[in-house]
């Protein structure tokens, strides 16, 4: 057999294992639809605190073109690839500091392939409240520039920016004043400026998470979560199933990363 096919089949088998693993978590503990897996994170974010941010995120009007393009594709088609789903949730949780429960049911209704067992645990994982997953904070600007370098995807789903060249379409709010008239991209006219500054929001989020992580009860709670719901990643590797860097990584390592 072609080695590439063998690798593809192993990757597919690994995905099936992770699928069942996440499904089992909710089946084992149905309350995870409504509460954080790791109890000390319950008060990390205030529920319902930023309704204007939530509304802008749901409408694809955050001022971050790649985020808005992803959201608008989801609203129009009911589907996104995993990385884009994770980035949307990461932006809501870390940049906008929204509690995952503020948008969990709404987001579930947008997906044509909604599966509760995967949906709620992925929301918690991307929001950093499981206690056993390495924190993943996506930089939406870098994601767009990496995966949509010429801006074709953004032009498709954010048509009010379709006239902008590639060097301006990802960050229209940063276009120098003298070029704004030529590009017709003055912030706040056809397209809004960013709701928050990414670097500042992430820095604040990390500080808040660090306080919870360092609390005496958090480590003990995380250990209980791992004993009940952990993936036993070493066993998975022993079976030849590589962990997905976006979906797995379950351990007691809680170090934030960008």
* pLDDT tens digits along 34-77: 999 999 999 999 999 999 999 999 999 999 999 999 999 999 99
Q: What is the CATH number of the domain that holds 94?
A: 1.10.579.10
The reported pLDDT for the residue numbered 139 is 97
Q: Are 65 and 87 in contact (CB under 8 A)?
A: no
Model confidence, pTM:
0.85
CA–CA distance, 63 with 57 (Å, rounded to integer): 9
Q: How many CA atoms lie within 13 A of 141 on its CB side?
A: 14
Q: Collapse the DSSP code of 250 into the 3-class scheme (helix H, G, I; strand E, B; otherwise coil) and give the result.
A: strand
Mean pLDDT for the chain overall: 87
pLDDT tens for each residue of 140-175: 999 999 999 999 999 999 999 999 999 999 999 988
pLDDT tens for each residue of 119-139: 999 999 999 999 998 888 999
* pLDDT reading at 257 higher than 90: no
How many domains in the chain? 1
DSSP string for 128-140:
T-SSSB------H
* pLDDT reading at 2 higher than 90: no
CA–CA distance, 210 with 6 (Å, rounded to integer): 42
**What is the domain extent for residue 173?**
1-258
Tokens 């066993």 — which residue? 235
Short-list 110, 120, 132, CA closest to 38: 132
The reported pLDDT for the residue numbered 80 is 97
CA–CA distance, 82 with 222 (Å, rounded to integer): 26
CA–CA distance, 199 with 202 (Å, rounded to integer): 5
CA–CA distance, 87 with 137 (Å, rounded to integer): 8
DSSP string for 16-81:
HHHHHHHHHHHHH-GGGGTS-SSGGGTTSS-TTS-HHHHHHHHHT-SS-HHHHHHHHHHHHHS---
Q: How confident is the model at residue 252 (pLDDT cuts 50, 70, 90)?
A: very low
């Amino acid at each position: 057999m072609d080695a590439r096919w063998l690798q593809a089949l192993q990757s597919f088998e690994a995905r099936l294992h992770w699928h069942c693993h996440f499904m089992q978590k909710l089946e084992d503990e149905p309350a995870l639809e409504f509460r954080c897996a790791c109890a000390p994170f319950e008060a990390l974010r205030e529920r319902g605190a930023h309704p204007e941010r939530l509304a802008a995120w749901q409408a694809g009007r955050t001022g971050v073109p790649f985020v808005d393009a992803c959201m608008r594709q989801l609203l129009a088609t009911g589907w996104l690839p995993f990385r884009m789903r994770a980035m949307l949730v990461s932006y809501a949780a870390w940049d906008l500091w929204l509690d995952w429960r503020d948008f969990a049911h709404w987001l579930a209704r947008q997906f044509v392939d909604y599966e509760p067992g995967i949906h709620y645990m992925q929301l918690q994982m991307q929001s950093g409240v499981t206690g056993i997953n390495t924190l993943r904070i996506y930089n939406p600007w870098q994601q767009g520039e990496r995966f949509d370098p010429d801006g074709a995807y953004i032009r498709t789903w954010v048509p009010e920016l379709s006239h902008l060249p590639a060097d301006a379409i990802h960050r229209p709010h940063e276009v120098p004043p003298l070029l704004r008239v030529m590009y017709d991209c003055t912030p706040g006219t056809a397209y809004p400026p960013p709701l928050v500054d990414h670097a500042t929001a992430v820095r604040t989020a990390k500080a808040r998470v660090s306080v919870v992580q360092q609390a005496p009860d958090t480590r003990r709670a995380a250990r209980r979560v791992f004993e009940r719901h952990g993936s036993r990643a070493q066993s998975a590797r022993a079976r030849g199933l590589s962990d997905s860097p976006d979906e797995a990584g379950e351990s007691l390592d809680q170090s934030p990363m960008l």
